[in-house]
Chain A
Amino acid sequence: EIVLTQSPATLSLSPGERATLSCRASQSVTRYLAWYQQKPGQAPRLLIYDTSNRATGIPARFSGSGSGTDFTLTISSLEPEDFAVYYCQQRTNWPPLTFGGGTKVEIK
């Protein structure tokens, strides 16, 4: 099973700041990694798939990069609605599909 480790667990930032979230895989997932956003009381929403492709309707301030075992989600300038929990997910070697433990982006 591929384990995904996200860091930091919590990121405290102000609106307008840049957010950089990390996801590290226990073995290579090539480029088959996605990012999801989850707000309190809501279902997750797909943001990025295959490392760097934005899902439909996702603003350009969200970008993804990486390959192999190290991946990054960057939010270039935080909007108030971006404060949420973010999860990464791999699809290279499954079952099982695996998710990271999440990074909470909170308002500083």
Chain B
Amino acid sequence: EAGVAQSPRYKIIEKRQSVAFWCNPISGHATLYWYQQILGQGPKLLIQFQNNGVVDDSQLPKDRFSAERLKGVDSTLKIQPAKLEDSAVYLCASSPGLAGGSDTQYFGPGTRLTVL
């Protein structure tokens, strides 16, 4: 079974530029998560989808971050415009069950973003 795929793996941009990340979850997984992990910290949930609907986006900085999950499968996370403090690893995860359950989350390899 293929794991969670993410691209790109690395991205370097200058502040005020835009960037987009892509995630393809494990086939059949209903729930998809985007996390931000700053160096030395634990992952912080940004947004959670169940199929193609948003379950929670309370920690997403909506003035600059946006996300969508097309047809309940792939997802993109966009930052526009980027700030220096957005430098982090962006992790995508998926789980088979519905949001609110106790499923294991399977993480992708992450995208390391550096904002100069």
Q: Do A and B associate with each other?
A: no
- Chain A residues in the interface with B (C-beta under 8 A): none
Interfacial residues, chain B to chain A (CB-CB below 8 A): none
